[in-house]
Structure 1
Amino acid sequence: MTSQEVEVLVVGAGQAGVAMSEHLTNQGIQHIVLERDRIAERWRSMRWDSLVANGPAWHDRFPGLEFSGIDPGAFASKEQVADYFLAYAQSFGAPIRTGVEVTSVRRNCGAPGFHVVTSDGEYNARYVVAATGPFQRPVIPAVVPVTAGLQQLHSSLYRNPGQLPEGAVLVVGAGSSGVQIAAEIQRSGRQVFLSVGPHDRPPRSYRGRDFCWWLGVLGLWDASTPPEGAEHVTIAVSGADGGRTVDFRELAEAGITLVGRTEAFDAGTMRFAGDLQANIANGDANYLKLLADADAYVERNGLDLPEEPEARSLRADPECLSNPIRELDLAAAGVTSIVWATGFVQDYSWLDVDAFDERGRPRQQRGVSPEPGIYFLGLPWQSRRGSSFIWGVWHDAKYVADQIAIQQGYLQHHEAAAQPVGV
């Protein structure tokens, strides 16, 4: 079978793939982007109905295009975000082929580049960029067996409370997804138990500025590595309901029962770690530190921003926090379903190259792998804290495109030097 020749083959047309295509286009580098579904499909089909972006429209976007028809301080719906990336790709004629799944990438033997097998033919590519991002395969911990008689689903398959059977719900995971899903289910009239693990809890806004702005001016988006022990700590922040600071005590006052990190299940009883109070306290400390850092920034720069002393007032601890539940008989509590807001793992089973560690994680430095010609994009902490966010992946894509252009320059010099003198 004849293979199509391409200089750069980009796998994935979400925010990472679209950003990569723009920078390659600007560099004049011939490329193609292959996407097994539609552009930004995960925003459409792997999110719940009421999801909105976690950052305001002025911030969670690419530099070259603003959201259409949305107030800059508002939070775009999932459909608006997907439509945004579609419009962005169309704005510069991104060479994206949808409905094409990449099934295998292997280095060519005795020739440069890689042999790529897809559902729609084969390619020879000099460079391959894996732009599939961090949200590839949903993770449901092997805690509750399927024989337990409970409906279990990952947050990526949750759409709205109506899809759940009657009864109480246990939501496991208190990052952005878990908090929003738990609150929505509680408002529908269900009893909800929310399993809270370690988390950061920034204010949604403070002194008239969104937390995205504060992290920017304080240089926190540009942190190159996470704090020790916090590599997988989630961020409890939400753009739902117009954007409000996540307050676990407020959730408890509304009727949600907070429990610690989910540990084990046995004979119908769920057991939780004794870390709820510590997790809430650490989240509070993170919240208060950002307020203090913001105040210091205001004073240092002489900014005229309204003071907000009430932001430091914490609600009284609810009973579920003062005396945490360590064991819960799910049937006695009326729990009939569990929503696992427990994240994703990366899946590079299609990428058969020497670019992974013993746990299957990409080995890379700012997206450049030790396997020459292989690049990654959209990874958490790829170059900074903001790497897996919409605006952050755009900047990482520019760096990767620059590295590809540099490699092209070396190859062009080699080919020129190989030509006989006078030719």
Structure 2
Amino acid sequence: MTVEITSIDTLVVGAGQAGVAMSEHLSKLGVPHLVLERDRIAERWRTGRWDSLVANGPAWHDRFPNLEFDEVDPDGFANKDQVADYFVTYAEKFDAPIRTGVEVKKVVRNVGRQGFTVETSEGVIEASRVVVATGPFQKPVIPAIAPKDERLTQLHSADYRNPEQLPEGAVLVVGAGSSGVQIADELMRAGRKVYLSVGPHDRPPRAYRGRDFCWWLGVLGEWDAEVMRPGKEHVTIAVSGARGGQTVDFRRLAHQGMNLVGLTKSFENGIATFQPDLTTNINNGDDNYLSLLSAADAYVARNGIDLPDEPEARIIPSDPECMKQPVLELNLADAGVSSIIWATGYAVDFSWLDVNAFDDKGKPKHQRGVSKEPGVYFLGLPWLSRRGSAFIWGVWHDAKHIADHIVTQRKYLAYHDASRRHADQAATFSDPRVHKVSEMGVN
């Protein structure tokens, strides 16, 4: 779609959950803006996920405040297409000024004048401000250790769709966060032999004492934590809404037939090697799980809340054989492994953003999304302002803060412009030549 606007107050790049939230707040505050999206609204939800994916939070929680999901029970989990449709419907509610099919190719700060020059696939736009709402899932990461073996089918989780997509044979899934464990479980249920490489992780209960873990994190103040705890930088979270939502339990998966191994170390001559940390990683995950149960019990007792006891939730299954005798090396051919799924996360890509907004490692420098480069904002990134920032409801609240900041800046500039006009008028009035002309006009 051709971009007809050549200048705009605020340009929002990306029309996923972050871009839609940003547009709503800017619209309410009367800020002229335009949202550009290179594909469709919420495209990553439709085509950047596997077929059976559902939201990891219940529908009552993982939504914006002003619209509920249609045809999804509040305690249920919306599938990926329902989530994408939700954002399309939400944008239609306030007639969001979104242009799809337009890619932003470059943003450069103007020299000697306000704002930025933005090159797009449909022309050039001048913008006073730019909100980067492209989210954290931009560039799938496959580690450099990936084997150079044409006999193996290797996919990032972003490109995995279903078990039928893979050739016959066993599958090694590297990464045991939410994506990795859900894909591994799906493959095992489809009859595949599965090896799952398990690194450091947190694994909250799906629900406890009749409340989803999202509720517990809310009442316990965990969603509002402003900084990640030291040592947790490389810890993933294993949670799932699949099949109505169940607690992820690696011991249970192993007892059901999944082959668990430690953190993947290397590949050489067809041999995969793993760190001897499987038992430690699983035990630490169990500790994280039990600590949340204890915090929940303490909250119930402290506040006198009537919620049913659930002592069976503290029962930890016995150590499976893979923990007693961990596999440190695996001959992929002998094990029948024909595919590797890399559930190893994403990197951001801001190569199109040519502004002074990054540190020496290329990470955005900002405070609650307000960049060190005046006029540039970031939205939708993990831990932007707190733990909940990357979640649907969290990005909505972060967008409100950024929109308020933009309005404040506009007021300062409006004062500057008004003051300058007043000064110009005063200078004109005090000019003797103006009085002479006026007198001549009277005569």
TM-score category (smaller protein): over 0.9
Shift of 1:233: 1.5
Distance 1:5 1:409 in 2: 19
Q: Which residue of 2 aligns with 1:86?
A: 88
Matches within 5 A, 1:192-211: 192-211=194-213
Corresponding position: 1:277 with 2:284: no
Contact 1:48 1:159 in 2 (8 A): yes
SS of structure 1 residue aligned to 2:117: strand
Distance 1:297 1:102 in 2: 48
Q: Which residue of 2 aligns with 1:167?
A: 169
Q: Which residue of 1 aligns with 2:269?
A: 267
Q: Which residue of 1 aligns with 2:245?
A: 243
Matches within 5 A, 1:173-322: 173-322=175-324
Q: Which residue of 1 aligns with 2:341?
A: 339
Shift of 1:3: 7.5
- Partner residue of 2:108 out of 94, 106, 109: 106
Shift of 1:145: 3.1
Q: Which residue of 2 aligns with 1:387?
A: 389
- Partner residue of 1:49 out of 42, 48, 51: 51
SS of structure 1 residue aligned to 2:215: helix
SS of structure 2 residue aligned to 1:378: coil
Q: Which residue of 1 aligns with 2:147?
A: 145
Matches within 5 A, 1:48-67: 48-67=50-69
Shift of 1:236: 0.4
Q: Which residue of 2 aligns with 1:352?
A: 354
Contact 1:270 1:330 in 2 (8 A): yes
Distance 1:293 1:372 in 2: 41
The structure with the largest alpha-carbon Rg is 2
Distance 2:37 2:146 in 1: 34
Shift of 1:358: 1.2
Distance 2:100 2:301 in 1: 51
Distance 2:290 2:399 in 1: 34
Distance 2:135 2:286 in 1: 30
TM-score, normalization by structure 2: 0.94
- Partner residue of 1:370 out of 358, 369, 372: 372
Bigger shift: 11-20 or 136-145? Answer: 136-145
SS of structure 1 residue aligned to 2:396: helix
Contact 2:59 2:69 in 1 (8 A): yes
Amino acid across the alignment from 2:292:
L
Q: What whole-Å deviation, never above 9, does each CA across 1:299-330 have from its counterpart, x for those lacking one?
A: 00001100000000000110001111000000
Shift of 1:419: 1.3
Contact 2:370 2:377 in 1 (8 A): yes
Q: What whole-Å deviation, never above 9, does each CA across 1:16-58 have from its counterpart, x for those lacking one?
A: 0000000000110000000000000000001000000000000
Contact 2:262 2:278 in 1 (8 A): yes
Contact 2:25 2:400 in 1 (8 A): yes
Distance 2:186 2:314 in 1: 26
Amino acid across the alignment from 1:315:
P
Contact 1:13 1:33 in 2 (8 A): yes
Structure 2 unaligned blocks of 5 or more = 427-443
Shift of 1:148: 4.8
**Superposition CA RMSD, Å:** 1.2
Distance 1:351 1:3 in 2: 20
Amino acid across the alignment from 2:92:
Q
SS of structure 2 residue aligned to 1:419: helix
Q: How many residue pairs were aligned?
A: 423
SS of structure 2 residue aligned to 1:127: strand
Structure 1 unaligned blocks of 5 or more = none
Q: What whole-Å deviation, never above 9, does each CA across 1:222-256 have from its counterpart, x for those lacking one?
A: 00001101123111000001000000011111111
Corresponding position: 1:126 with 2:123: no
Shift of 1:147: 3.0
Q: Which residue of 2 aligns with 1:36?
A: 38
Amino acid across the alignment from 2:233:
E
Shift of 1:378: 0.4
Q: Which runs of 4+ in 1 moved over 4 A?
A: none
Corresponding position: 1:6 with 2:8: yes
Distance 1:323 1:101 in 2: 52
Amino acid across the alignment from 1:112:
Q
Distance 2:236 2:137 in 1: 14
Aligned CA distance change for structure 1 residues 3 and 208 (closer, same or farther; 3 Å): closer
- Partner residue of 1:136 out of 138, 156, 163: 138
SS of structure 2 residue aligned to 1:349: coil
Amino acid across the alignment from 1:119:
S
Bigger shift: 356-365 or 290-299? Answer: 356-365
TM-score, normalization by structure 1: 0.99
Distance 1:103 1:333 in 2: 46
SS of structure 2 residue aligned to 1:420: helix
Q: Which residue of 2 aligns with 1:75?
A: 77
> How much identity, in percent, do the aligned residues show?
67
Contact 1:3 1:122 in 2 (8 A): no
Distance 1:86 1:68 in 2: 13
